[in-house]
Amino acid sequence: MLRLANHANSRAPPIVVASRMIHATSRAAAAGIRVPQIGTFRLPDIKNEPTMDYAAGSSERQQLMAAVKEMSSKKHHVPLVINGKEVRTGKVLEQVNPGNKAQVLCTYENAGPTEVAAAIEGALAAKSKWESLPITDRQAIFLRAADLVATKHRYRLMAASMLGQGKNIWQAEIDAATESADFLRFNVKYSSEIYAQQPPCNAAGVWNRSEYRPLEGFVYAVSPFNFTAIGVNLAAAPALMGNTVMWKPSNSAVLSNYVAYEIMREAGVPDGVIQFVPGDAASMTKQIFDHPEFASLHFTGSTFVFKNMWKQIASNIDKYRSYPRIVGETGGKNYHLVHPSADIANVVNNTIRGAFEFQGQKCSACSRLYVPKSKWAQIRDGLVAAAESIKQGPVTDPANFMGPVINQAAYDKITNYIEYARNASDCEIIAGGKYSDSEGFYIRPTIVVTTDPFTKTMREEIFGPVLTVYVYEDAQIDSVVDLVGETTPYGLTGAIFAEDRQAAVDLGARLLHTAGNFYINDKCTGAVVGQQPFGGARASGTNDKPGSAGLLQRFVSPRSIKENMVPISGFTYPSNQ
């Protein structure tokens, strides 16, 4: 508690005393001194943000498409933001519209060593004041950010995600709007649950307590292109727990991430707490990992990059003040396994969604399908008919179920896999296989059937709209279950389809370690914050489950406190007598 001189206060009118206390509290907060919390607060009810349908003629569709039109009408510029100041470096890069590659959606500044160093020092300088702010005040900031995402800036954030990342209306809605708001709100709920975890026992004359300190140093958040909400969470989750953050967005999602960053600043995130620093990933990462105050990596991206980062951190371990917390969600080679008792229509519809929504660019997208021979003819006909019927084109046309893949590099990689399948003796393309980058990076939904369960397209992550099917003899389902876990090093998501309950139980038990998110009679995508915390193990990441309290625990360092109320009268024990 702050204390003012009793002598001075005893002669002052009450209003002057109150004014002095307010100013003293403000000075204390500015200096990074703890301020008093004079109440135990109850959070508002935390629920998932409702999704909108955007039906033809609805007001929400009209407002959204107006935002898309407005955002598309001009070229935007994104600065670095360091210590609350916009920084221009003269090293400017471009983010193009993947559906219309001739359109430069935005230009953005590229942080160099000088800017990165300034951002790190600014984050460290902001840390004391931010971590001293009561948790309820930090929570209020992020609750406000969630409301701004869900209301005032909903359509603007969605428009940036649609144009910049090739998302149709529904994919932008469940990402940029609802999941962003859900992360911000549920993290607040989980932070209160963590703070409430206190020792259950106190010996006579003793009071035991637990504090949840932020990490010493700064957090490095590296976000991917495919989910705006992931970028929000990578930066906001550690910040909520009192940390300061260096946020490096994907070069293919700079605009939407900057809009999200502006929303958090409007909500009250102080200068320096989250530094927005687009830039070259390799050089920035090396500089950050060389800093002794580096405290944590919060990452979503490829397995290859994550493993390299881990090696860099390990090689620098003697430099750091503390052992860095490494938190990462990486790749997946996700599966649907169909049991002979499965409902055929349910398999077809969920597999089409799981494999081809957002052009197969979800970490959780289905890219392996195992089908019993007895069901294959019907499932094949259903899959081919559905895939060929999919409408694809610019996100400005709401009728399109699919849009473009993210950039030229992704287009080239995915089409190389398609050509591999076209030329492989053990593969047959039964749907799709067509592509064009004349205007945007468009690849038709492609279905490959293979006779080799270890063929390249069954083993390697493609991150695009390519599904490979292996047809098995019904009697060989036990060996196929083994194949699911042996084919790839990943363990992110998977689904089984079975109407036979005992079969579902048996399959779930045998596939225990093949997926961190496991689905029964549903697609292997679409995890919802507060309902299915997301993440996998093996080569798919550290499985710290964004969308749960477990993730936030990674960004605190608990302190146990024992306070003795009664002085001891001697130092010997009865056993010494």
**179, 329, 357, 461: which one is catalytic?**
329
Q: How far is CA 21 from its chain centroid?
A: 42
Residue 363 appears among annotated catalytic residues? yes
- Distant-in-sequence, close-in-space partners of 130: CB < 8 Å, separation ≥ 6: 138, 239, 242, 244, 270, 272, 273
Pairing of strands 366-372, 334-338: parallel
Half-sphere exposure of 332 (CA within 13 A, CB side): 36
Residues in a beta bridge with 328: 299
Which two three-digit tokens encode residue 427? 């593969």
Residues whose CB falls within 8 Å of the CB of residue 128, separated by 6 or more in sequence, listed in order: 31, 32
* Signed CA dihedral, 285, 286, 288, 292: sign only: positive
Residues 6+ apart with CB under 8 A from 368: 333, 334, 335, 336, 458, 467, 468, 470, 484, 487, 488
Enter the DSSP assignment of 173.
Answer: I
In our burial notation (b when 16+ CB lie closer than 10 A, e otherwise), range 183-203 reads bbbbbbbbbbebbeeeeeeee
Q: Could you say which of 106, 293, 363, 366 is catalytic?
A: 363
| Side-chain-facing half-sphere of 351: CA atoms under 13 Å | 33
> CA 320 to CA 350: how far, in whole Å?
47
Cβ–Cβ under 8 Å, residues 319 and 331: no
Nearest to residue 293, comparing CAs of 488, 487, 125, 85? 125
For the stretch 506-541, what's the b/e string if a residue is b when 16 or more beta carbons lie within 10 angstroms of its beta carbon?
bbeeebeebbbbbbebbbbbbbbbbeebbbbebbbb
Enumerate the β-bridge partners of residue 86: 81
CA atoms within 13 A on the CB side of 189: 16
Which amino acids are annotated catalytic? 329, 363
